[in-house]
Amino acid sequence: MKVLLSWLQELAPFPDDPELIGDTLSDLGTPVEAMERIGEGWDGIVVARVLDLRPHPDADRIQLVDVDPGDGGPLQIGCGAFNMAVGDLVPLATIGSTVPGGLRIERRKLRGEWSNGMLCSSRELGLGGDHAGIRILEPGAAPGTSLAEALGVAPDVLYELEVNPNRPDAMSVAGIARDLAARLHLPFALPEPTVATAGAPAGSATTVEVLAPELCGRFTAWVLRDVTVGTSPEWMQRRLTALGMRPINALVDISNYVMLELGQPNHPYDLHRVAGGGFRVRRARTGEGLVTLDDVERTLTRDDLLICDGDDRAVGIAGIMGGAAGEISESTTDVLLEMAWFSPAAVSRTSRRLGLRSEASARFEKGCDPEGIDRAARRFCQLATEICGAVVAPGSARAQGDLPSRAPVRVRPARVNALLGTDLTADHIRDQIEPIGFACAPVEGDLDVMVPTWRPDTTTEVDVVEEVARHWGYRAIPIRQLSQPRSGGLTARQARRRGVRRLLAGLGLAECLPLPFLAPGQLEACGLPPGGIELLNPMVAEESVLRPSLLPGLVQATALNAARRRPGVALFEIGHVFGVPPPGQVLPDEREHLAVLLAGREAPAAVATWLVLADQLRAEAPDVENAEVPGLHPTRAGRVLVAGPDGATPVGTVGEVDPAVLAGHGVEERVAWLEVDLGALLDGRRRSGAFRPVSRFPSSDVDLAFEVPEATSAIAVERTLAGASPLVWSVRLFDVFRGAQVAEGCRSLAYTLRLQARDHTLTDEEMAAARAACIAAVERAHHAVLRG
């Protein structure tokens, strides 16, 4: 919403202090997004009369204009606009002047022809709005008159305000002035226009029928006769332009002016072009069509509300946009004026469904004042009388539908203070909100507050509390600190996740957060099963699938870096992945995954990372099992496991990315890969944290080699050895051998055991017993055989 300081000043005696006004508006919750001083910087810009127009000999998009700048002329100007005619008065920025945008005007050649100044558009003059052509001035001014004098423009300030959905009142100049005046303790009263009426009453010329009272709370029709349409006065055009509306003709301009000033959208029709001379307001029939003013054919549903003429033909979509029929034209003499109140929800629904927004719908959606209709109509009639010579018929034709019910809101000062941390009395509260129209009646220490009809957003006590706070001033509310002592902290899972980040960064990896959306077919291109959950309304098709794995994103990252001559990247990502919902659940199977990608490295690098990671998290019984995994190298892949309630539980996959997948992405190096369900891992069982005292007695090493079936994990054998005797301090795999000397389907695994007792030097007998226990444990647990 835009407002002009001069317009605000018509409604309340605001000081000429643009900064104060701007700061106060922001402080009231209508923040100033832009503040523009207009009508300044017009030195050297004068009125000129067009004497002659002719084509530029060498340029199609420039014409040569001879003007009289006050000395009789002719002065030749090159101009890129073609909207003026001989005799028009136009603004001329003379040589040496600077236009408001900062451009300094000099004599220069345009394609070989001299241009001795610049003819200006409204926007170039800082008047906002139209840039389509040169501003054509009202006739009357003498050439050479300064532009400011000719336009009667005093310097003004244009504010562009952001208006929140809970401020329907701030959609009008008057509403903004009311709020601002209250904060600045200045008197404000809405204007009460008076209109002389004559002729047959409106009710004799038109009829109104509301067939959908639940969508149309009030509908009034007014009749103005003997109108001369013409153009609106310069001052009105200037205000409309500044606020972003294009002047059309006097009646349309008055209609827009009243909407901007009072917030009441309205629609003038040519009385003689409304068939049947009256209105029927009804729901559209399914499939019913209407061509709106923007020349688009709209197809409607039962949810949409139509304004129809007396013959039941649609002439407009209620509250949004009129149709072409019944439009005001230069030849209009009698006017039928619609002023109505429509259900905000209905207007919003229709406007969204049609993708059609207008100044009117923006106001009806937020909620207009049903009690402001008559005032707005009188304002229209007053302006039309003054500008168009209208003769206003007495009264109006009207019909009543359902309006929101109104009941006082009970506001407890104790509650106000409990929410705000203030110490306000009922009188304080009343002083804040009565100036903005909230009528307060004391009831046993509390207040019964009647909310004004222009604030339909306000229905509950807390809504009123917000109004009190807004006008008392957020900055006037005393700051307090939370006082209760509390112990904050991270959960174990959050702290462990941080440990994972530190570890992986310490291993030289870089964390990345690629876009979590995939393109259709991207899963398949990564060797993964299709069927990712899809978005219904993606921005682009390439970002339409939710990822079930972190693999596609990181493979893509590898390809991107390789293409930029950065092979060998080491990346990790912690992010959510989305699986198909389990039965009985609507939301997806959402999990937090960790992925590690080591380009230029082979599968063992990923396994090593897994073991370090599991060690860092003190995961109980971390293990690896060889397995074929989609997307991974068929003979270099496996699952990683930890101890779960039912034994070893897979928590992820490890290996190398499938060479075919890499080739498909243009990656020419091997890529080691690890992806784990981080949530399962972080919440999994942890090995004991109890201290194991170290011995100061000598240790002895024993080497044992076993024939172990290929299907048995070397890690599992190692763990069996470690647990076989209390004397085993550590176990290390030092050799793996496959060949003729080893049984078919087995390999030889050789381990060094370091044996040690806490409180004495081991005897040969003890060592032999420990050795035997280790051999027995491995042979029993793993179908392994000791090698001789």
Site for another protein in 413-452 (CB under 8 A): 418-422
H/E segment holding residue 617 = none
DSSP letter assigned to residue 103: P
Tokens of 483: 């006082």
The DSSP result for 559-611, as a single string, is HHHHHTT--S-EEEEEEEEEEPPPTT-SS-EEEEEEEEEEET--HHHHHHHHH
Asked if 480 is part of the footprint of another protein (rule: CB under 8 A), the reply reads yes
Site for another protein in 162-191 (CB under 8 A): 164-167
Is residue 288 classed as helix, strand or coil in its secondary structure? Answer: coil
Nearer to another protein, 493 or 783 (CB): 493
Considering the rule CB under 8 A, would residue 693 count as an interface residue with another protein? no
Q: How many CB atoms lie within 10 A of CB 179?
A: 25
x/- contact string, 587-626, with another protein (CB under 8 A)? xx-x------------------------------------
Residue with smaller CB distance to another protein, 164 or 425: 164
Count CA atoms within 13 Å of residue 335 on its CB side.
31
Compute the least distance from the CB of residue 537 to another protein, in Å: 5
To the nearest whole angstrom, how small is the minimum distance from the Cβ of residue 686 to another protein? 21
Of the two residues 283 and 547, which places its CB atom closer to another protein in the complex? 547
For another protein, the binding residue among 474, 697, 734, 737 (CB under 8 A) is 474
**Binding flag, residue 407, another protein (CB under 8 A):** no
Q: x/- contact string, 571-590, with another protein (CB under 8 A)?
A: x--xxx-x--x----xxx-x
Question: For another protein, which is the closer residue by CB, 502 or 760?
Answer: 502
Q: Which of residues 343-382 bind another protein (CB under 8 A)?
A: 345, 348-349, 352
CA distances from 138 to 81, 150, 238, 240, 250 (A): 18, 9, 12, 16, 14
Residues 426 and 445 sit within 8 Å (Cβ to Cβ): yes
Give me the 309-348 binding string for another protein, x by CB under 8 A, dash otherwise: ------------------------------------x--x
Q: In sequence order, which ranges of 45-164 are alpha helices (DSSP H)?
A: 147-151
Question: How far from 418 is each of 414, 422, 423, 424, CA to CA, in Å?
Answer: 6, 7, 9, 10
- DSSP-derived letter for residue 550 is S
Q: Which is nearer to another protein, 23 or 703 (CB)?
A: 23
Encoded tokens for 491: 């959960």
Closest contact distance (angstroms) between CB of 360 and another protein is 17
State the amino acid at position 772 in one-letter form: A
Pick from 513, 690, 694, 740: which binds another protein (CB under 8 A)? 513
Give the residue with the Cβ less far from another protein, 586 or 690.
586
Which residue among 37, 225, 501, 754 contacts another protein (CB under 8 A)?
501
Which is nearer to another protein, 666 or 698 (by Cβ)? 666
**C-beta atoms surrounding 579 within 10 Å:** 15
Please report how close the Cβ of residue 357 comes to another protein at its closest, in angstroms: 11
Q: Which of 200, 505, 627, 711 binds another protein (CB under 8 A)?
A: 505
**Which residues touch 211 (CB under 8 Å, ≥6 apart)?**
280, 281, 282, 283
Q: Does 775 bind another protein (CB under 8 A)?
A: no
Q: According to the binding rule CB under 8 A, does residue 29 interact with another protein?
A: yes
- Which residues in the 147-166 window bind another protein by CB under 8 A? 164-166
Q: How open is the CA angle 643-644-647, to the nearest 5 degrees?
A: 75
Tokens for 514?
């690629």
299 binds another protein per the rule CB under 8 A: no
Interactions with another protein, residue window 524-543 (CB under 8 A)? 533-539, 543
Nearer to another protein, 392 or 596 (CB): 596
Whose Cβ is closer to another protein: residue 125's or residue 577's?
A: 577
Rounded to a whole number of angstroms, the minimum distance from the CB of residue 509 to another protein is 5
229 or 554: whose CB is closer to another protein? 554
The answer to the question of residue 200 lying near another protein (CB under 8 A) is no
Q: Positive or negative CA dihedral for 384, 386, 389, 394?
A: positive
**Given candidates 187, 489, 583, 788, which one binds another protein under the rule CB under 8 A?**
489
Q: Virtual CA dihedral for 524, 529, 533, 535, nearest 10 degrees?
A: 10
Considering only 85, 154, 407, 482, the residue that binds another protein (CB under 8 A) is 482
Q: Which of 10, 12, 27, 520 binds another protein (CB under 8 A)?
A: 27
Q: Measured from the CB of residue 428, what is the shortest distance to another protein in angstroms?
A: 15
Interface with another protein (CB under 8 A), residue total: 88
Contacting residue, 61, 109, 185, 564, with another protein by CB under 8 A: 564
Show the DSSP H helices in 81-172 as ranges. Answer: 147-151
Among 84, 469, 518, 785, binds another protein (CB under 8 A): 469
Q: Of 194, 331, 405, 487, which one interacts with another protein (CB under 8 A)?
A: 487
User: Which residues partner with 701 through β-bridges?
Assistant: 754
Q: What angle do CA 724, 725, 730 make, to 5 degrees?
A: 85
Task: List, as one string, the DSSP characters of 716-763.
Answer: HHHHHHHHH-TTEEEEEEEEEE-STTS-TTEEEEEEEEEE--SSSPPP
For residue 5, the minimal CB distance to another protein (Å) is 21
Number of neighbouring beta carbons within 10 Å of residue 740: 5
Residue 137 C-beta: closest distance to another protein, Å: 40
User: Residue 786: in which H helix or E strand, if any?
Assistant: strand 785-786
Which residues lie closer than 8 Å to 718 by C-beta, 6 or more apart? 731, 733, 751
Please answer whether residues 747 and 736 qualify as being in contact, where contact means their C-beta atoms are separated by less than 8 angstroms: yes
Contact between 490 and another protein per CB under 8 A = yes
Query: Which token pair is 143?
Result: 């050439």
325, 546, 742, 767: which one binds another protein (CB under 8 A): 546
Q: How far is the CB of 300 from another protein (least distance, A)?
A: 18
Supply 318's token pair: 């209620």
Per CB under 8 A, the list member of 328, 440, 465, 594 interacting with another protein is 465
| 239 phi, psi to nearest 5 deg | -65, -45
Which of these ranges, 230-238, 495-503, 714-722, 756-764, lies near another protein under the rule CB under 8 A?
A: 495-503
Shortest spacing between CB 417 and another protein, in angstroms? 8
Residue 609 Cα distances to 271, 571, 605, 635, angstroms: 83, 12, 6, 19
Toward another protein, which CB reaches closer, 587 or 690? 587
Q: How far is the CB of 553 from another protein (least distance, A)?
A: 8
What three-state secondary structure class fits 650? strand
Nearer to another protein, 293 or 505 (CB): 505
Residue 514 touches another protein, criterion: CB under 8 A: yes
Residue range at the interface with another protein (CB under 8 A); choices 303-311, 371-379, 478-486, 696-704: 478-486
Chain positions 94 to 133 lying near another protein, rule: CB under 8 A, are none
Shortest Å, Cβ 517 to another protein = 8
Q: Which of 331, 405, 481, 688 binds another protein (CB under 8 A)?
A: 481
Cβ distance to another protein smaller for residue 146 or 417: 417
Q: How far is 656 from 669, CA to CA, in rounded Å?
A: 11
The packing angle between helices 461-472 and 426-433, to 10°, is 80
- 49 vs 323: CA distance, rounded Å: 39
The sign of the torsion formed by the CA atoms of 759, 760, 763, 767 equals positive
Separation in Å, CA 106 to CA 89, 100, 103: 21, 15, 9
